[in-house]
Amino acid sequence: MAAAAGEEPRPEEFVYGEEDFVLQAAGWGDEPGSAPSRFDRALLEGWADRMERGFFRYRLGPLPTRVLPGPLRLLARLNVQRGAERRPPQPVRSLRQPFDPAAFNFTRIRPGEVLLRLRRAGGGPAAPDPLLVAINVSPLERGHVLLLPEPARGLPQALTAPVLRAGLEAALLSAHPGFRLGFNSLGGCASVNHLHLHGFYLDRPLPVEAAPARPLRPPCGLGLLLRGVPAPAFLFYAAGPADLEAVSRDVWRAAEHLADTGLAYNVFITRGDPPEGAGTGAGRGLRVLLWARRPSFGAKASAAFTVALCELAGYLPLPAEPLYRDITEAEALRAIREHLLPEPQLLRLGEDLARLLAD
């Protein structure tokens, strides 16, 4: 029901079941079956409503876009207003920094910023955590939202298996091939120390959807490393709903191992080909990419742009027109890879994760 004049709009209770999962999202062309899902309609209609009502820090229009020349075809977009008007990131001092109720957190957002209360029908021990879907008031893209698991619990920004499982289910509720989700850890450019995922619609394919992966310890299938992408990533794959529990548990265990060894991390969820490539005839599932990185505490004055989940995946939201106009693929890759591990260390870490997940 629409809010009366002067009233805050109310979030929609969005109850879903496995029958709402879109097992094969639309392709990038005008293919049959490319209509938005019930979830897409609810999210995007609510998001557009809040834009019209002035809940955002700025009005997001079409963004200048260019594909950088080069084999990786990095996608650059100019978003000056986000760079200038977003809330400054909170200071982060450690990977295990506790939640601070005195700092900005998501219990302080306006009620009208919440679009949906996302909940699996039936509940029970197998159901993921319910999520609030709230607008990001400084959006990167159309439909940019935050997925929040019970903000009143005051959980710090450390990934949990239940919230990742809920995020994977949200990915399957969308019929759009470019609905992506992700997570930035503390030390991995998280800007608020309160547990949340990002979700947004990006209207372009990215190389991380299709690049093949190879096992780190042949012939064992554990420990897949994605190469031929802007930043090498550990790849986890869910062919369908039956795989979500195991994938969310494995990614969480791997992320905890990284944090225990003093490393930050970023996670990216996208529709994508099976690890061995598109020629298997199995269709597309969900790819979950996990990047290990050296932690970054405090802003670096020399940094041309922030390197978080989007940049690692090959999507560069850039804050200044000269940077957007002039940046080359080589310059972007140098900025991205400055935060990553040397290859020998990455390979050793991959072998450690393969052993961990085999137990």
Indicate whether this model's pTM tops 0.85: yes
Residue burial 167-190, b: 16+ Cβ < 10 Å; e: rest: bbbbbbbbbbbbbbbbbbbbbbbb
pLDDT at 265: 98
Instruction: Look up 196 and say whether it is catalytic.
Output: yes
**Close Cβ partners of 178 (under 8 Å, ≥ 6 residues apart):** 201, 202, 203, 204, 205
Closest CA to 93 of 325, 298, 317: 298
**Close Cβ partners of 280 (under 8 Å, ≥ 6 residues apart):** 274
Domain ranges of the chain: 66-358
What is the strand order of the sheet 65-67 is part of? 65-67, 75-78, 315-318
Of 194, 196, 198, 339, the catalytic one is: 196
Question: Where does residue 66 rank: exposed (0-12), middle (13-18), buried (19+ CB within 10 A)?
Answer: middle
pLDDT at 31: 53
Q: Quickly name the fold that domain 66-358 has.
A: HIT family, subunit A (3.30.428)
Ranges assigned E (strand) in 294-336: 315-318
What is the strand order of the sheet 233-238 is part of? 12-16, 114-120, 131-135, 145-148, 197-201, 179-184, 264-272, 285-293, 233-238, 224-226, 213-215
* DSSP for residue 142: T
pLDDT at 155: 97
Give the model confidence (pLDDT) of 45-65 as tens digits: 999 999 999 999 999 999 999
- 10-residue mean pLDDT series, the chain (359 residues): 67 95 81 78 98 96 96 96 87 94 96 96 75 97 97 97 96 96 97 97 94 71 81 95 95 97 98 81 86 83 79 96 97 95 94 89
